[in-house]
Amino acid sequence: MILDTLEHAGLYAAMLPRLRTALDFLRAASTAELPDGRQNLDGDRMFALVQSYRTRTPAGGQLETHRRYADVQCLLSGRELCGYAPLTDALRPAKPYDAAADIAFYDGVCDWITLSPGRFAVLMPQDSHMPGRCGAEGPSQVRKVVIKILL
């Protein structure tokens, strides 16, 4: 997992094919004006999901992983907590991998990172995560971009 600010995005651009394009997309001022939904950046090889939602409490949440795509997650507004744990034997499978949706779910203990505007996280297949959660302050409205990069 990578967690950093967009001002340092250039340090990571060469680490993954198409990551530079994804980070440039997140830094573009016009990204904040996009409607919710899918934005094609390179067909099924890379696309952005623009989302608006209320964060939820961690209770009852499950960690997720993806095998085919890396996630680049960045908030446009609001604040959310995202659970993180390396995909290890300590996690218990909760729902088997769904190849069509490219997702599997797990139960287990995780650490928490904070996503806020200007920060981004790159999550690879070995990085289980539980996005969209709130802290003690309670649920809040967020606007977020998740860029999916085919591995």
What CATH number corresponds to the domain at position 102? 2.60.120.370
pLDDT digits (tens, 9 = 90+) for 106-147: 999 999 999 999 999 999 999 999 999 999 999 999 999 999
Determine, yes or no, domain membership for 123. Answer: yes
Residue 89: pLDDT band (50, 70, 90) is confident
Determine, yes or no, domain membership for 17. Answer: no
Residue 13 has a pLDDT of 85
Instruction: State how far the Cα of 51 lies from the Cα of 34, in Å rounded to an integer.
Output: 10
What mean pLDDT is predicted for residues 74-102?
A: 95
Residue 71 has a pLDDT of 98
pLDDT digits (tens, 9 = 90+) for 7-61: 999 899 888 889 999 999 999 989 999 999 999 999 999 999 999 999 999 998 9
What mean pLDDT is predicted for residues 78-102?
A: 94
Per the structure, the count of domains in the chain is 1
Distances (CA, A) of 2 to 11, 27, 84, 126, 127: 11, 17, 11, 12, 10
Determine, yes or no, domain membership for 76. Answer: yes
Query: Containing domain of residue 112, as a range?
Result: 2-8+52-145
Determine, yes or no, domain membership for 25. Answer: no
Residue 16 has a pLDDT of 86
Residue 141 has a pLDDT of 97
Q: Is the separation of the CB atoms in 114 and 79 below 8 Å? A: yes
Determine, yes or no, domain membership for 42. Answer: no
Determine, yes or no, domain membership for 26. Answer: no
Determine, yes or no, domain membership for 113. Answer: yes
Determine, yes or no, domain membership for 118. Answer: yes
